[in-house]
Amino acid sequence: MNKSNAGCVVVTGASAGVGRATAVAFAKRGWRVGLIARGADGLEGARHDVLAAGGTPLAVEADVADHGQVEAAAERIERELGPIDVWVNNAMATIFCPVEHIAPEDFERATQVTYLGAVWGTMAALRRMKPRRHGTIIQVGSALAYRSIPLQAPYCGAKSAVRGFTDSLRSELLHDGSPIHLTMVHLSAFNTPQFDWGRTCMRKQPQPVPPIFQPEVAAEAVYWSAHHRRRELWVGFPAVKAILAQRIVPGLIDRLLARRGYSGQHTDQPLPPGRRDNLYEPVPGDHGAHGRFDARSRDSSGQLWLTTHRTTLAAFALAALVGLGVRRSITR
């Protein structure tokens, strides 16, 4: 999309990580960007990044777990930026802890943010898009929506719930003959600040399960999904392996994760003194898009390139087969 006909996008969880990178990805194409998050410091940083990238930002403080706040944010964004063309549900919260040690109120809070936050965002978007018969809603999902791992049961359960909710709604939209496009972008492991502020009961610092990708890879996948009617987009070969393995040998994966799923999610470093988490309140400061794993993170994904260019690749393959057939017929 050229800057001259760019639209309006809303990104939840826009103050940091994948949400922050996604806001910038749209801004680089001249979009008007509604930024929703709780932290004022991060929102101001995201607003500055969107401006610098060439977009038009509007930062709105809101807790996505609160339906009323999400609705009010959507109303303000449409009033100040215009009709919403794309809504990206990205906000999430996680807890690194065995289930038996998670306080019920913490489990509930993580579920409200990650699952109900996506539901409330989707509903706010639908109220505006459906009467206009125009718009795209993108759920930022995870391979963990298909293949859960130990120590993150609230997050895995919520992402699985978002997938179930999305599939149900997709059928309803088809039944109604609605052209609203609903899609999910399932991610691998990404270098975001969530591993510095996710609540944990473990003694070591959390980490994404390697291999790790930079958040800009996810952001470009989200932007691509806004312009192509793909039902789902899997980002990173680890996501592909996890999803397919769960379909083929789930019991084997259960046992592998029982042996390796704990150590793979933590570094050897102890938690820093005074570490704060963002489960109930944002951690002060502007934390940006990247976490602390830049040196170990990849800034591209061959798998993503292949899946987003499969039509072109199929055309080349067909042309090659036709050419081979012609050459064989000539040499006979």
Reference 110, options 218, 164, 118; nearest CA is 118
The burial of 211, by beta-carbon neighbours within 10 Å (0-12 exposed, 13-18 middle, 19 or more buried), is given as: middle
- φ and ψ of 45, to 5 deg: -65, -40
Catalytic site residue 262? Answer: no
- φ and ψ of 103, to 5 deg: -65, 140
DSSP state for residue 300 in the 8-state scheme: -
Answer yes or no: are the C-beta atoms of 37 and 61 closer than 8 Å: yes
Among the options 146, 155, 223, 280, which is catalytic?
A: 155
Reference 114, options 149, 144, 137, 72; nearest CA is 144
Name residue 318's amino acid. Answer: L
Residues catalogued as catalytic: 155
